[in-house]
Amino acid sequence: MHLILTGAFLKRYPQLIQQMLSDGHEIGNHTFNHPHFTTYAANHLHQLGKNTSREHVINQLTKTDSLFQQLTGRHMAPYWRAPFGEYNRQILRWAAEAGFKHIGWSPKCDALDWVNDTTNTLYRSSNQILQHFLKLEEEHGLNGRIILMHIATERQNDFAYLMLPALIDSLRHRGYRFVTVSKLLNARHLP
């Protein structure tokens, strides 16, 4: 699988990083401290945020990669995901200058596990998340799709990861394999 981690996560849980690599996960960049890069939260536009500059974007990515290299002796996978899905062409260009290609999540594949308020209409229990993905697979298939889930959560119970074994087992039973983003991208370029 492919994990996108922040520098703050690397700093807080350095012992987990080696385990993730040993387990075969590919680790990409999610910036150092998960900043808003655009004004989307305020006006639903992806205009550059007040503090967003070339230097800021590149620093967020290179600082995280440097910390990863200190912990592991190697660089992160050359992929990143913009915090909150906030980016525009200019931000993508700056990230590319730092050596990172943006990889988002597939349509309808946000688990919404970040929603912790059970009264919010977006809230999904772990079982509802499971059912969402199984239904999506039945109706449209999940081949080549990227599912967005989060390591960190403010939920106090009914954690989304509780449904992962059932989802993985069910999808494997249906013939799916789980691969890293690198393998997914390489497979798309095969004849």
pLDDT tens-digit series, residues 70-102: 999 999 999 999 999 999 999 999 999 999 999
Rounded CA-CA distance 153/115 in Å is 8
Query: Given a cut of 60, is residue 51 above it in pLDDT?
Result: yes
174-186 pLDDT, tens digit per residue, is 999 999 999 999 8
Structural domain contains residue 137:
yes
Averaged over 51-74, what is the pLDDT? 98
Tell me: do 59 and 146 sit in the same domain. Answer: no
Tell me: do 130 and 97 sit in the same domain. Answer: no
Q: What residue spans of 4-155 are helical by DSSP H?
A: 7-12, 14-22, 40-43, 54-72, 89-97, 126-140
130-141 pLDDT, tens digit per residue, is 999 999 999 999
pLDDT of res. 189? 56
Q: Distance between alpha carbon 161 and the CA centroid of its chain, in Å?
A: 14
Domain harbouring 25, CATH code: 3.20.20.370
Give the structural domain span for 157: 126-188
The total domain count for the chain is 2
Q: SS3 for 80?
A: strand
CB-hemisphere CA count at 13 Å for 135? Answer: 8
Q: Per-residue b/e over 53-63, b at no fewer than 16 CB within 10 Å?
A: eeebbbebbbe
Tell me: do 81 and 9 sit in the same domain. Answer: yes
Tell me: do 84 and 24 sit in the same domain. Answer: yes
pTM over the 0.85 mark? yes
Lowest mean pLDDT among 7-21, 64-78, 148-162: 148-162
Tell me: do 73 and 12 sit in the same domain. Answer: yes
Structural domain contains residue 118:
no
Q: Which two tokens stand for residue 51?
A: 């503090």
